[in-house]
Amino acid sequence: MNKDLISNDIQLDSSGKLIHLLGLEGLSKNHLTHILDVADGLLDAQGNLKKSKALDDMSVANLFFESSTRTRNTFEIAGKRTSANIINVDLANSATKKNESLLDTIHTLKAMQIDMFVIRHKQSGLPHHVAENIDGVSILNAGDGINAHPTQALLDMLTIRQHKQSFEDLSIAIVGDITHSRVAHSDIQALKTLGASDIRLIAPAGLQCDSKQCATIKCFDNIEEGIKNCDVVMVLRLQKERMLEADIPNEQEYFDNYGLTPERLALAKSDAIVMHPGPINRGVEIDSSVANGKQSVILQQVSNGIAVRMAVMEILAGNS
Amino acid sequence: MNKDLISNDIQLDSSGKLIHLLGLEGLSKNHLTHILDVADGLLDAQGNLKKSKALDDMSVANLFFESSTRTRNTFEIAGKRTSANIINVDLANSATKKNESLLDTIHTLKAMQIDMFVIRHKQSGLPHHVAENIDGVSILNAGDGINAHPTQALLDMLTIRQHKQSFEDLSIAIVGDITHSRVAHSDIQALKTLGASDIRLIAPAGLQCDSKQCATIKCFDNIEEGIKNCDVVMVLRLQKERMLEADIPNEQEYFDNYGLTPERLALAKSDAIVMHPGPINRGVEIDSSVANGKQSVILQQVSNGIAVRMAVMEILAGNS
Amino acid sequence: MNKDLISNDIQLDSSGKLIHLLGLEGLSKNHLTHILDVADGLLDAQGNLKKSKALDDMSVANLFFESSTRTRNTFEIAGKRTSANIINVDLANSATKKNESLLDTIHTLKAMQIDMFVIRHKQSGLPHHVAENIDGVSILNAGDGINAHPTQALLDMLTIRQHKQSFEDLSIAIVGDITHSRVAHSDIQALKTLGASDIRLIAPAGLQCDSKQCATIKCFDNIEEGIKNCDVVMVLRLQKERMLEADIPNEQEYFDNYGLTPERLALAKSDAIVMHPGPINRGVEIDSSVANGKQSVILQQVSNGIAVRMAVMEILAGNS
């Protein structure tokens, strides 16, 4: 599916209320800020997560067609902390193997009283296709192909907001495999919506963003140049599982040219924060000492990931 | 195990109270009606499921030796909606691989304070064997070989009862692979117990019921003839996974001869309902437009499946 | 890792309070007795398990790197009975496959608000390594290599204490594959700490304990001799999965020489109890009639296993 053809229109009802979370295009600054505010309210002063009863009578199904224990766990934990029933549907042995179509599977689960579906799929636009064809349930996109990963971008925004005053004056560098990263795509969209004016994409030629997107943001193939004086460094994972064999860079060479080392980080502002969506390839895209260093907010991102997913579930359930 | 040798006697205690659900033979009309009444009470006026606290202090283990995500999910959801603890025992990696016998596994789980076992197994009579050899727990048959699938038949009966006044005057056509269908077997038993007088089995010669069963019901190999003026059309899945390679019919040929098309459905009464246990093979045993049509009650069957399983669990727990 | 180099020191805080459970070396008789007392309090007069709310606001992750459905189930059931949220982390598909280190995985789960980790791993000392490198969570060793299996030993002690007055005067025979048994290792330690003076290890030469351990306990290669007049017979499983192909004894031969038969059991005291950690290889290490016999307390061990794991979780959570 062509990325340009994927529309998020259906995620808002006629009054502008969020009823699915498919992607960040089409959401206003108010929409994003409301989600971040609800998430913040789920954290106590020490950054620990509270529990809520918001989904006490609801059931959520995790439909992960791409394996990702980490992200599935975050939705499972987030769901349980809102008191929802969580069903992890075992897709390897599911009815889709018996020729049942995906939509039939989801209609069937809806008839079993599932209220919300968390979907990860390698096909861009698949969650949108589901949302267009089934009423009365909420669809939450947990990553579709190279299209979008909205909850990851929202947790990234929450983390930035906890450290920086406003998005308007920030310089943000995103380093790595832009081409294959739905995270980068959603982060760029969120940063634009929240008003960030200086977004820099740092990548080798083969992994840089396409020309159209780049029209409004700055592209670098030199990390030292791109990182200079920035406030936030977002490091991306090498998504080897989405690359052709021939395109996978040599890891040592990649680290030599793009790895975030203490020396490179020193070129950013002294209070710059270092982010990574995880899981980390230490010594490939980031030096171990930087990942563990005091500018790293990587584990805070993880906690915020639970809060943001709880917030989105509560909002979709109509309870926040 | 010979089907004729499988007795359900053990499922009733000396006072006639249900303590296991192994099959429908041996249950009275009162038993069935009570289960349907309890299930009905778990649905609100809109057909949505209520929650109950009936199994609040109990634990239920799902033991699925045949993979079936759909049916396992229904029992998991039903169990959670009655507030039970649900354990999905991972049989692929279980102790049975370490030479432990099945009965030892179940005795061990009982000692871990499991109160109820939901068992699906390819061997007919296996749940009965377990029930005979272990006291103080309830066994719930979720499908054993080609013998029985009592909760499927009960949800079918609940669905029929929601649409038709009484079973006595109904004409019910069951279409498809009768031979390999424990669903058909249990449905026929339930319909007889509830007083249905006109049961018709429609199947090609190789998939028709055995002569003994047929003695009391009508068999057809022509669907147009069998379906005429009936009130209920129950379509069965082709159970390819239980057929020898050589016996699997050509799908197009099967659809041409036995698929439920709008034209064929028009031969039934105009208010006939269309049922299917799922998952559906669209274009094989049923035309897509019929599965989605306004006479189809297939998704209602799914919701009723949760209600019926909740009801059976509550009754076995002694709480309904 | 050399067993002698594995220290449990870190499991106690500076005031001697248990903060992890890694192994039984280093725990006092008071520590063990407190755990057994808490476990006993979780059983009613009939030996049935009570529920508790002790971990109501907590989350526990099951990290089983060695597959063991049975032990994983016991921790899952124990956790649910203390009202904890339980996450079974799917390690086959986990982030460790994406090059993430084990410590990164655990730090990430901690950031997701997991409070306690139950770890089983084939590498001796792995849970200790984790405990040394992560603060603010509790580590519960569910079996590490051939080193330790502390909750199994504790449930064994609870079972013995329920049948015998005091440990001081008991004669306990442990029969079987001592070499590969972390259960035997932890049982011996627990028995010593609780004051048992007559511990006998019965095994063929190749499966007997190493000389150092044997210095303080009695070793036998003849079961008739070793079992004589003992109060407790603990039978071990043949751990074939941990043996080299060439070392696996012929099963019939093993049974002939070391299997616990009624005749051999008759050499013990008439009120001796028979124990086995499960799963049982009937006809290999124990005769079926002995496993089912009235001196067998094997299923009671299973129930006690839930109680002991609940007790340890409550104590580590600071609530008992």
The pLDDT value given to residue A273: 98
Give mean pLDDT, residues C292-296.
97
Arithmetic mean of pLDDT, C202-208? 88
Check if B86 contacts A (Cβ < 8 Å).
no
Angle subtended at Cα C286 by Cα C285 and Cα C292, rounded to the nearest 5 degrees: 155
Q: Would the pLDDT of C95 be above 90?
A: no
The tokens 């691989």 sit on which residue?
B97
Return the bridge partners of B174, or none.
B201, B234
Please give the distance of CA C315 from its chain centroid, rounded to a whole number: 17
- DSSP output for A145-211: TTTB-HHHHHHHHHHHHHHSS-STT-EEEEES--TT-HHHHHHHHHHHHTT--EEEEE--GGGSPPH
Q: Which residue has the higher pLDDT, A94 or B10?
A: B10
Taking CB atoms and an 8 Å limit, are C90 and A74 in contact across chains? Answer: no
Q: Which of C48, C237, C279 sits opposite B113 (nearest CB)?
A: C48
Cβ-defined contact of A111 to B300 (cutoff 8 Å): yes
Cβ distance A119 to A126 under 8 Å?
yes
Alpha-carbon torsion (B206, B209, B212, B214), positive or negative: negative
The tokens describing C210, both together, are: 């190493």
B318: how many CB neighbours lie within 10 A of its CB? 11
Query: Taking residues C50-77, what's their average pLDDT?
Result: 89
Q: Comparing B3-148+303-316 with B150-301, is the CATH topology the same?
A: yes
For C291, name the nearest residue in chain B, comparing CA atoms only: B104
Nearest C-alpha in B relative to A84: B80
Inform me whether the C-beta atom of residue B111 falls under 8 Å from chain C C-beta atoms.
yes
Mean of pLDDT over chain A: 90
- Determine contact, residues B147/B121, Cβ cutoff 8 Å: no
- ipTM score of complex: 0.89
Angle at C61 between CA C57 and CA C65, to 5 degrees: 170
| C73–B109 C-beta distance less than 8 A | yes
Fold of C3-149+302-316: Rossmann fold (3.40.50)
CA of A306 vs chain C CAs: smallest distance (Å): 6
Predicted pLDDT of residue A286: 96
Q: Which residue has the higher pLDDT, A238 or B226?
A: B226
Question: Thinking of the domain B3-148+303-316, which architecture would CATH place it in?
Answer: 3-Layer(aba) Sandwich (3.40)
Residue with tokens 């049922």: B275
Of A72, A278, A303, the CB nearest to C113: A303
Could you tell me which chain A residue has the CA closest to the CA of C90?
A: A69
Q: Residue C213 — pLDDT band, cuts 50, 70, 90?
A: low
Chains that touch B (3 or more CB pairs under 8 A): A, C
Residue contact A280–C89, C-beta within 8 A: no
The predicted pLDDT at position A1 comes to 41
Cβ-defined contact of A69 to C90 (cutoff 8 Å): yes
User: Could you tell me the pLDDT band of residue A238, with boundaries at 50, 70 and 90?
Assistant: confident
Q: How far, CA to CA in Å, does C231 sit from each of A312, C145, C269, C295?
A: 61, 29, 6, 11
Reply yes or no on whether the pLDDT at A170 is more than 60: yes
Record: contact A93-B67, CB cut-off 8 A: yes
Question: Residues of A with CB below 8 A from B237's CB?
Answer: 98
Residue A97 has pLDDT above 60, yes or no: no
> Using CB atoms, which residue from A98, A108, A113 is nearest to B48?
A113
Nearest Cα residue in chain C from B91: C69
CATH architecture of the domain with residue range B150-301: 3-Layer(aba) Sandwich (3.40)
Residues of chain B with pLDDT under 50: 1, 95, 97-98
Domain boundaries, chain B: 3-148+303-316, 150-301
- Is residue C214's pLDDT more than 80? no
Q: Are B93 and C69 an interchain contact pair (Cβ–Cβ within 8 Å)?
A: yes
Name chain B contacts of A98, Cβ cutoff 8 Å: 237, 279, 281
Distance separating alpha carbons of residues B118 and B284, to the nearest angstrom: 31
Q: What is the DSSP letter of C19?
A: S
* Residue A242 in this model has a pLDDT that exceeds 90: no
Q: Which residues of A touch B278 (CB under 8 A)?
A: 95, 100, 104, 108
Report pLDDT for B213: 61
Helix (H) or strand (E) holding A62: strand A59-64
C315's enclosing H/E stretch is: helix C298-316
Q: Does A282 sit within 8 Å of C95, measured CB to CB?
A: no
Share of chain C above pLDDT 70, in %: 91
Amino acid identity of B168? E
Smallest Cβ–Cβ distance between C107 and the set A48, A299, A306 belongs to A299
DSSP characters over C200-221: EEE--GGGSPPHHHHTTSEEES
How far apart CA C19 and CA B176 sit, in angstroms, is: 62
Among C279, C280, C242, C273, smallest CA distance to C259 is for C280
Question: In B, which residues are within 8 Å of A85 by CB distance?
Answer: 77, 80-81
Residue showing tokens 């012929």: C250
Whether residues A95 and B299 touch (CB distance < 8 A) is answered with no
Q: Tell me the chain C residues in contact with residue A49 when contact means C-beta distances shorter than 8 Å.
A: 113
Comparing B9-23, B84-98, C67-81, C120-134, the range with the smallest average pLDDT is B84-98
Would you tell me the crossing angle of helices C150-163 and C29-41 to the nearest 10 degrees? 70
Angle at Cα C247 formed by Cα C245 and Cα C253, nearest 5°? 110
- What is the distance between the alpha carbons of residues A59 and A114, in angstroms, rounded to a whole number? 5
Structural class in CATH, domain C151-298:
alpha beta
- Superfamily grouping for domain A3-148+304-316: Aspartate/ornithine carbamoyltransferase (3.40.50.1370)
User: Stretch C6-33: mean pLDDT, rounded?
Assistant: 96
> Out of B51, B73, B306, whose CB is closest to A57?
B51
Beta strands in chain C (DSSP E): 59-64, 85-88, 116-121, 138-144, 171-175, 198-202, 218-220, 232-235, 273-275
pLDDT classification of A217: cutoffs 50, 70, 90: confident
Tell me how far apart the alpha carbons of residues B172 and C283 are, in angstroms, rounded to a whole number.
Answer: 53
In this structure, what are the phi and psi dihedrals at residue C194, rounded to the nearest 5 degrees?
-85, 0
pLDDT recorded at residue B7: 92
Which residue blocks in B58-198 are alpha helix, DSSP H? 69-81, 102-111, 126-133, 150-163, 182-193
Average pLDDT, chain C: 90
- Residue C58 at interface with chain A, using a CB cutoff of 8 Å: no
Residue-wise pLDDT tens digits, B255-275 = 999 999 999 999 999 999 999
C245 touches chain A (CB under 8 A): no
Q: How far is B235 from chain A (nearest CA, A)?
A: 15
A228 at B interface, C-beta within 8 A: no
- Please check whether residue C77 touches B, CB under 8 A: yes
| Average pLDDT over every residue of C150-166 | 96
Query: Which residues have a Cβ under 8 Å from the Cβ of A29 and sit 6 or more positions away?
Result: A193, A194, A195
Strands (E), chain B: 59-64, 85-88, 116-121, 138-144, 171-175, 198-202, 218-220, 232-235, 273-275
The average pLDDT across A219-236 equals 96
Q: Flag whether residue A74 sits within 8 Å of chain C, measured between CB atoms.
A: yes
